[in-house]
A and B are shown apart, each in its own frame.
Chain A
Amino acid sequence: MSKRKKSFVRVLFFGAITGILYAGLFFNEPIINALCARGGLYALFPVATAFVFSFAHGNFTNYFWQALGVEAKKGAEKTLRDRPVERKEIRTQLRA
């Protein structure tokens, strides 16, 4: 339950950042269009924008599904934490 609560707080946090980013994009539409159409080294602008948006929004959507309880099949997730525990068990069995 606490995990869900944590996800919920994170959803709100990253949701707010994402919201601000999108608002910034659409309220400054003429400037942004001009920057994109300019070409040349201004190409860095859309590429960097895409990175920033995907970081904020990617985290938001990740915690969004987590908060809703939609998660990967158990056992499919190979976290680094799980592995040493498994190995330890095997070793004790072998010694015995």
Chain B
Amino acid sequence: MIELTTNFIDLNWLNVMYLFFVGLVGGLVSGFIGSGGAFVLTPGMMSIGVPGLVAVASNMCHKFPKALVGAIKRAKFGQVDVKLGLVMGASAEAGVLFGAHIQEYIKKTFGDAGSNLYVSVAFVIVLGIVGSYVLLDALKTKDDSQANKPEKITKIAKWIQSVNIPGTMVYFKSLNAKISFLFTIPLGFATGMLAATIAVGGFLGVPAMMYILGAPALMASATELVIAFVMGLVGSFKYAMGGFVDIRLAMIILAGSLFGVQLGAIGTTYVKDYMIKIVMSVIMLVVLVSRGLMIPVYLSQLGVISPLSEMTVKILKSSSFIIMVAALLTGALIICSALYKGLREERKLRRLVELPSSDTVK
């Protein structure tokens, strides 16, 4: 237990401001695309020296109340499928508990470097696969939505919606169909396990709801907030029981992130579905590069590869950090410009409606 206390880093003003900013942008992104935004927050915390496990745990503790606030906001826009969120959330719980167990085991056996390596490798693999798939799909849907075609449902989603297993069929409003809840179990479990590993279950949950179950991107990203709340609550409790939650870190991030999550949620009402996919994939792929650069550092710390020179470690660390910041800013910029454009057009439209109406109605 004494060793655990030393896991909490000392905070100075610079760190606090940095975390607030990271939280703001992370919240902005998560309000917009639905996943916890932790893919920027976890590495963000790790880059100022927070051990991987404490970063994941503290992140989760700020995530569930934030997800609740975001879900309530987006439910007002009619984008949340609460039933699907709760059903997926239940199996995600099991995934979280399993994933947290693995995390603790790795930390005990291989120490901080092992835990950091595990988190980073999981990031690279998941972001690589899901990020490129979502990007390809976003480019495809962009053409479709310009031609005003409705969003297509994938073949696998069509098949799942056609299977009838008596006694297990549930109607979900986001899918506008009845499906067997058995299909949601592995998806929820994988989402939860990933959430406990890298604190971003949404990277699996959102694409799974979109491509495997057939939910529209807007609703999938909003429903993910319900899943994030359910599993974040239990996950935080589990990590907190081990003494891994640094509440100071969690609350600083929450401070910035609640500003962001509200803004991100408002932003979704001004954009088309494909825009959410583009933002999601661009950020995923940039963060992948940032985390990938750190893998050799952790490998050398574990003695798997020959030790790197101090200079190389420094270069790798700073380029990873700079790329991370670039990912944050890119995402924030895309969302803010979409929001700005939307707000401006809306005001222009309102003015047009207000002014000429008095002239034309004669």
Contacts and interface: CB of A to CB of B under 8 A. Distances in A.
Interface in B313-348: 339, 342-343, 346
Given A71-B266, A73-B270, A78 B236 contact: no
Interface string B219-247: 00000000000000100111011110111
Contacts of B292: none
B357 to A, nearest CB: 16
Nearest to A34: B5
B221 to A, nearest CB: 15
Contacts of A40: 241
Interface in A66-87: 70-74, 76-79
B355 interface: no
Given A37-B1, A38-B1, A73-B270, A25 B251 contact: yes
B138 interface: no
Interface residues of A, number: 42
B241 to A, nearest CB: 4
Interface stretch (B57-65, B116-124, B170-178, B193-201): B57-65
Interface string B244-288: 011110110011001101110110011000000000000000000
B77 interface: yes
A50 B251 contact: yes
Contacts of A55: 65
Interface string A28-52: 0100111011111111111101110
Nearest to B260: A61
Identify which of B69, B78, B258, B343 gathers the most chain A CB atoms within 10 Å of its CB: B258
A55 B350 CA distance: 34
B251 A22 contact: yes
A72 B77 contact: yes
A91 to B, nearest CB: 22
B245 to A, nearest CB: 5
A82 B264 CA distance: 24
Contacts of B342: 73
A47 B76 contact: no
Given A47-B233, A50-B236, A65 B266 contact: yes
B68 interface: yes
Interface of A is mostly: helix
Contacts of A65: 259, 262-263, 266
B361 interface: no
Nearest to A65: B262
Contacts of A72: 76-77, 265-266, 269
B8 interface: yes
B243 A36 contact: yes
17 contacts: A38-B243, A42-B240, A43-B240, A45-B240, A46-B240, A47-B61, A50-B236, A50-B247, A54-B254, A58-B65, A65-B266, A70-B266, A72-B266, A73-B346, A74-B346, A77-B269, A78-B78
Interface of B: 1, 4-5, 7-8, 61-62, 64-66, 68-69, 73, 76-78, 233, 236-238, 240-243, 245-248, 250-251, 254-255, 258-259, 261-263, 265-266, 269-270, 339, 342-343, 346, 350
Given A70-B343, A72-B265, 20 more contacts: A33-B8, A36-B246, A36-B247, A37-B1, A37-B4, A37-B5, A37-B7, A46-B236, A46-B240, A50-B62, A50-B64, A50-B247, A53-B65, A54-B66, A58-B68, A58-B258, A61-B261, A64-B259, A73-B346, A78-B78
